[in-house]
Amino acid sequence: MLPEIRFATSRDGVRIAWSQHGDGPPLVRVGTWLTHLQHDRESVVWRHWLTELGDRFTFVRYDDRGCGLSDREVAGLGLEAWIADLEAVVDATGFSQVALFGMSQGAAIAVAYAARHPDRVSHLICLGGYARGGAVRARTREEREEDEALNTLARLGWGRADPKFRRIFTGALIPGGTDAQMRWFDELQRQSTSGAMASRLMRARGRIDVSRLVGGVAAPTLIFHARDDATVEFERGRELAALIPDAQFVPLEGRNHLLLADEPAWPRFLEALDAFFRQAPVGASRPAPSAAGLPTPGVALGVSEREVEVLRLVAAGRSNAEIAEALSISVRTVERHLTNLYAKMGLLGRSARAAAAARLPQVAPAPD
């Protein structure tokens, strides 16, 4: 079953397309360019991301403004607009607290949101990110000329049927990709945005600077970066990790900016991600586990009466649709209640539903 595509309205009226799938604590992938909600599930580049993260989390993703299924013609670009988009999407999900996953320029947006809304962010994960874009760092004349040349190539060649211009960007983002992966990514670029918008996005990305905000990040933070990343230098990831208090830094072996399913860095990423959530569980403020390794019974979990009703029906083997009908609520509301329960219980992954049902006697007294 394909996830529903919904729209959130940002502060300036721009409509942002978003979707969610999976079970478990909510993880929001911060929007970047080069995505398309409708096509990414069939992608040889994005499919493993959606599968693996959907198996672990309620995975929320959205298309950046100017890209994918979000509004294409937008006036405002830049840090404040991107933060407002993320705020709109998080609010639209209905989750009181989420983990954030920022890739590339999305890492800076995630950092800024986490610093401004510490109560809304449980965890922060970044891959291939940076605190400051190229335009606000010291650059040589050759580096400035290279940036201008790439910008011109994007503006003139992005929308053409011949992908030779776009292959330059593909080669930097996934230099270790197969021919099939590169051809798919060439086409994604054309599908995801226009040449004019690609040019504007590149310039706006270069002006990002969250270096003064990073000290305000309170959430447990995990930073990944490929040692030979051909798009964002390894040093940028090290800098970001050093600026965020107590951030963990995990170097990955490889050249790809976007991790591919068949490279060694991908299972290493998943292994470190799983370990991170075990070390810093969702809902870390909940009571310490009992001797049996389970949360203290009863109201200590902070479980609402409606969540208990949902959990009883889960334990009875009911599907989300059947629970929604029985309680006269929407399936989306059922999903939200389950996600909140998983977060309060510290559950993650495919077994979360069964594990939550097994803990029903500890959450509340059995019905009369």
- Beta strands (DSSP E) in 74-232 are 98-103, 121-127, 221-226
The pLDDT of residue 1 is: 54
- Is the CATH code 1.10.10.10 the one for domain 298-363? yes
Distance CA 249, CA 268 (A): 13
pLDDT the model gives residue 287: 32
List the strands of the sheet with 98-103, edge to edge. 5-9, 15-21, 58-62, 26-29, 98-103, 121-127, 221-226, 248-252
The β-bridge partners of 99 are 27, 123
Which residues of the chain form CATH 1.10.10.10? 298-363
pLDDT of residue 364: 58
d(CA 331, CA 324): 5
Confidence (pLDDT) at 295: 36
Q: Where in the sequence of the chain do the CATH 3.40.50.1820 domains occur?
A: 5-279
CATH superfamily of 5-279: Alpha/Beta hydrolase fold, catalytic domain (3.40.50.1820)
Give the global pTM. 0.78
Nearest to 66 by CA among 43, 92, 106, 36: 36
pLDDT for 146-198, tens place per residue? 888 888 877 877 777 778 778 888 888 999 999 999 999 888 888 889 889 98
Rounded-to-integer distance, Cα 326 and Cα 337, Å: 14
Query: Sorting pLDDT into bands at 50, 70 and 90, what band is 134?
Result: confident
